[in-house]
Amino acid sequence: MNASRLKSVAIALAVVAVVATVLGVYIHRTSAPDKAGDTPTKGTNAAARAALTVTTTQPVATQLPIKLSANGNIAAWQEASVGTESNGLRLAEVLVNVGDVVQRGQALARFADDSVQADVAQARAGVAETGAQATEATANANRVRTLLNTGTFSGQQISQYLAAEQTALARVESAKAVLAAQLLRLKNTQVLAPDAGIISARSATVGAVVPSGTELFRLIRQGRLEWRAEMTSTELARIAPGTPVAVVAANGARLEGRVRMVAPTVDPQTRAGLVYVDLPPMPMQSVRPAPARAAASSAVADAPQGALPGMFARGEFELGRSSALTVPQQAVVVRDGFSYVFRLNADQRVSQIKVELGRRVGDRVELLDGIGADAVVIATGAGFLNEGDLVKVAPAPAPAATAATAAPPALAPAAPAAKP
């Protein structure tokens, strides 16, 4: 009984040993090829990581505009100060307000003229009185002249009558001058616009008694504006009258102007000079006719659209065009504050080249230094590359190439880019 059980256990152990041996051999044989195959697989993955699909382009000679940028303020071409020549009169009416468009000779305000009218009447009476006296003196002088050789009058009497005539005539002229002065005072009770323009300031107040010479209004003559660009002395030498200028005001208004004048002096403190650029005038549409009397409600000119005096503005002076080597903006990589492009070498590896950038127009940027016109540079995917990386160049899509051919010659586009 025990012998048969021991025999069964021995047979079972033998079977287990055989199975274990067979499994060990199988595992050894199958694991050896797998380990051998690990190296090619890793090599293939490493090769795949080393190659990045990119597109290439070459620098293109392009005609780019030469522009010079500047900052400055927009101001009125000329501002007229409108004051009063009347002294000590009460301001009775104010006929315009800030923003009103006025014409030359239009009434802006009126002073109370009661006292002036009385002075005019007194001056007229003075003219009449002196005229009567002159008539009498002239008649007496004429009688003396007819009796000059008869001995009726002495020489002294004759001289007195003739002198009285001259004195009376002089008094007439003096009275007429007084009347003219009073009429001028009466005329000056009406404050008139010296030129067409837009009221930019008003200090006139109804009821105020103002002395002669007090400013009542300020007027932007003819609504004309100018941009006063601040430039260095070196930049001033490049600007000439008539140069076109594109101006962008602080409110986003875009204006086209031309240089009228370059300042003949430079500020000794800032070393900057001014360039005066004529801008399109403000709207000068008449809002209403000049009223004889001010209406209760004053019509105000529509708020002018575009630039306004006092605004800050930036501008670019268009100095011409010049040839430049350009590449697509996406071909330039900025690292550590410097600009680089990646040049493709014959071994399909790239070299990182430091470049100096110039003007930018659209999606193209000028290369001033660092690379030649015959170089092949990476157009897309440059931002993922480093020095010596191996790349794979993708062919350019045909439709994009057609679009590039149709582009304006002034800004030839870069070679079409395909995303990696």
**Tell me: the pLDDT tens digits for 279-331?**
999 876 644 444 444 433 333 344 346 788 999 999 999 998 888 899 999 99
* CATH 2.40.420.20 residue spans of the chain: 51-64+321-411
- Using alpha carbons, select from 383, 301, 313 the residue that is nearest to residue 341: 383
* CATH 2.40.30.170 residue spans of the chain: 70-77+225-317
Which CATH superfamily, name and number, covers 81-198?
Helix hairpin bin (1.10.287.470)
Ranking 224-238, 265-279, 366-380 by mean pLDDT, the lowest is 366-380
Asked whether the predicted pLDDT for residue 209 surpasses 70, the reply is: yes
Q: Please tell me the CATH code under which domain 51-64+321-411 is placed.
A: 2.40.420.20
pLDDT tens digits for range 129-143: 999 998 988 988 888
pLDDT at 177: 95
Whole-model pTM: value is 0.62
Q: Quick one: CA dihedral 58, 61, 64, 70, positive or negative?
A: positive
Pairing of strands 350-361, 338-344: antiparallel
Cβ atoms < 10 Å from Cβ of 141: 19
Asked whether the predicted pLDDT for residue 15 surpasses 90, the reply is: no
* CATH 1.10.287.470 residue spans of the chain: 81-198
Rounded CA gap, 222 and 198, in Å?
Answer: 7
Ranking 66-75, 111-120, 388-397 by mean pLDDT, the lowest is 388-397
Single-letter residue type at 202: R
Q: Please tell me the CATH code under which domain 70-77+225-317 is placed.
A: 2.40.30.170
